[in-house]
Structure 1
Amino acid sequence: MARRRFSDTLVLADGKICCGACERPLAAADRSWKEQAALTVVPVASLPGAGLGTDSRIVLRRFACSGCGSLLETEVALPEDPFLEDRIVVAG
């Protein structure tokens, strides 16, 4: 299996984005892998250390591998915001 790490948690293997821990395929390299990950959404204001002025609408999104449970990425957003997407371009 041709394997190329492109982040601390994700690898590119045989044209697919995979979990770096267990190599479970998440999506084709040209697709959104976040749509295939296990998603947990938590209000930032409920997290330890959140200040009193933290906007109650802001959420923390946690994306994990649905196979092994490894945390793949997090992002902070408003609930209606689309996922932040990283695009992978494989050269040569």
Structure 2
Amino acid sequence: MPSTPRSRGSGRGPDGSPRTPVIAPMSERQQLALVLQISSQQSAPAVPTPAAEERKRSRQQRNGRGETPLHVASIRGDHDQVKKLLDQGQDPNIPDFAGKH
């Protein structure tokens, strides 16, 4: 029995020195989580490409159904506006939220 009373879980060994933490084997899930955490901290932020910028801009210009201005103009049958948007470089292959082009 120790000479000085101590509460359980004091974090000290029998000789008063700090206990070393118990190292247990990690599961595959824990290993993957650790690798993902480390790699996300070390990776440099990616420089956006022009195509990524265009996709981002087209996402910002969508309505509640995911329709771009090109979708809306074609649904309305506004051929002049469709031609104007295509001449500006709008991508006709961007689907709306329903997957329609």
**Does the TM-score normalized on the shorter chain lie above 0.5?**
no
Bigger-Rg structure (1/2)? 2
- The TM-score with structure 2 as length reference comes to 0.18
If each structure's strand is expressed as a fraction of its own residues, which one has the higher value? 1
If each structure's helix is expressed as a fraction of its own residues, which one has the higher value? 2
